[in-house]
Amino acid sequence: MELSSPNKDPYSSWQKAKSNLADAGFEEPLKVMEDHLAKGTNGEVYKPENLSIHKGYRFLEQDSYLSPSNGEMVPKYLLAVQAEDEQRYYIEFFFNSPYQDTVLNFMNSIEADGPNRKFLN
């Protein structure tokens, strides 16, 4: 059996984490547009101060797979965030992506002084 994409490996720690988040209601991706703006799947627009982090996963080199941006093995992040309107999303982030600085700035703005700061250290 040949896998068509390493992103779809059901045994990978990345895919297991995404499945766990989906089971908890974090099924929709949140797309970071700017340092202080993200967009939901139905067109909802969110600022970092309207979101809270519920869970964070950090995958280092041994858990990494090919980045869609440059075809290299890179570390990655997966965050479960909830908006004030109770919508639940996840944010996928690949290091070395062209949008690295924008996503990092956005993530750092979510509860920058709050109890979930530990996920971003």
Is residue 94 within 8 A of residue 76, CB to CB? The reply is yes
Confidence of residue 114 (pLDDT cuts 50, 70, 90): low
CB 30: neighbour CB atoms within 10 A?
A: 24
Residue 59 confidence (pLDDT): 82
- Exposed, middle or buried: residue 78 (CB in 10 Å: 0-12, 13-18, 19+)? buried
Tokens of 16: 């297991």
Length of the chain: 121
Q: What is the mean pLDDT of the chain?
A: 78
Residue 68 confidence (pLDDT): 54
**pTM: predicted TM-score of the whole model, two decimal places:** 0.75
The tens digit of pLDDT for each residue in 19-60 reads 999 999 999 999 999 989 999 988 899 999 899 989 988 887
Higher pLDDT, 66 or 53: 53
